[in-house]
Amino acid sequence: MSNEEAEPSEIDTCHVSVMPDEVVYWVASPEVAPTPPKIVIDGTYGGGGHSRLLLEAISGADARVIGLDRDPAVSARVESESHDPRLTVFLASYEQAAKALEQFDLTSADAMVLDLGLSSDQLADRERGFSYTVDGPLDLRFDPENGVPASRWLAQHDEKQIADAIYQYGEERFSRRIARAIVAKQRERQPISTVNELVEICRRCVPRSRNHDIHPATRTFQALRIAVNDELGILERTLRDAPDWIAPGGRMVIISFHSLEDRIVKNAFRDDDRWEVLTKKPLRPTESEVAHNARSRSAKLRVARRR
């Protein structure tokens, strides 16, 4: 686990934080937190937008925001930003939050924020393959220095495994048709290695929907990204362990962007007696926010308090 200290900034980032006012309210509002929070974990630091607002909301020289992110590009940007002793950003997954706390001889935090969506910076990076509208290597890893890229993941799995992953993680009805076409290319010694190659398969295999709202590759790319990065496994393990390092009265604030994540969060908050659910139904972005940031339209925010 490596770290850099910096002042949160939006320099060199095009990412716009989702539901920022709601995040600050549930973390630092006196109505929710009679005792002002001192230690806050931003488990998905990204462009630093949430961290910047949280630092403005919490006060005192002993207040601290601990950021975590798996993306080395985030760490590199943080390193170039000016110093702020109240913020430390670690190059690590949010499931390693307890280890980050240990770096400061802390055992618990007063709040933790997770924004589970892709950042605009990742979508804009042609070398990562996150956007199916821009050609490039089919990688899809948050951390390009670890794990295997999606192209290799496809080569290492058989037709049934690929189809099951696309169906389970992407909820794609035509998963078997897509998997069959992927494996056929491999048998022709033309394995899928680029974004456009996979997009073309999805275009052929997924009938165009009537409303044309969803790109035919959307669900498949989501599924492969989840599989390559073990996203749901990390989320489940974090929700299982977080009560051990969230102080009594502390809040867990999570923004999800698809039903698989939201279901995991909802069930974990509901089924674990250590959590008190504060949002009976997920909160949604305002019409104004969606108008200014279209990527926020599918966001759902849930909050629970540590008993």
pLDDT (mean) for 188-192: 95
d(CA 20, CA 40): 15
Band the pLDDT of 5: cuts 50, 70, 90: very low
pLDDT (mean) for 22-29: 98
How far is CA 216 from each of CA 27, 42, 212, 213, 237, rounded to the nearest angstrom?
38, 33, 9, 9, 31
Band the pLDDT of 13: cuts 50, 70, 90: low
d(CA 2, CA 233): 22
Indicate the DSSP class of residue 223: H
Boundaries of every domain in the chain:
2-121+232-306, 126-229
Phi, psi values for residue 100, rounded to 5° = -65, -40
pLDDT (mean) for 241-246: 98
Annotated binding site: 48-50, 69, 94, 115, 122
What ranges in the chain are assigned the alpha helix state H? 20-28, 49-57, 72-80, 97-102, 120-124, 150-156, 159-170, 175-187, 195-205, 218-229, 231-241, 259-271, 287-292
Say whether pLDDT at 153 is over 90. Answer: yes
- In the predicted model, what is the mean pLDDT of the chain? 92
Query: Which comes out higher in pLDDT, residue 2 or 267?
Result: 267
Tell me the per-residue pLDDT of 192-214, one tens digit each, with 9 for 90 and over.
Answer: 999 999 999 999 999 987 766 78
Q: Which CATH number fits domain 126-229: 1.10.150.170, 3.40.50.2300, 3.60.110.10, 1.20.1060.10?
A: 1.10.150.170
d(CA 138, CA 10): 27
For the whole model, what pTM was predicted? 0.91
Domain spanning 2-121+232-306: CATH superfamily: Vaccinia Virus protein VP39 (3.40.50.150)
Rounded percentage of the chain residues whose pLDDT exceeds 70: 93
Neighbour count for residue 184 (Cβ, 10 Å): 12
Say whether pLDDT at 7 is over 60. Answer: no
pLDDT value of residue 122: 72
Directed axis angle between helix 231-241 and helix 218-229, to 10°?
50
d(CA 147, CA 62): 37
Band the pLDDT of 6: cuts 50, 70, 90: very low
Tell me the per-residue pLDDT of 90-124, one tens digit each, with 9 for 90 and over.
Answer: 999 999 999 999 999 999 999 999 999 887 677 66
Annotated binding site for S-adenosyl-L-methionine: 48-50, 69, 94, 115, 122
Phi, psi values for residue 287, rounded to 5° = -60, -35
pLDDT value of residue 8: 41
Say whether pLDDT at 30 is over 60. Answer: yes
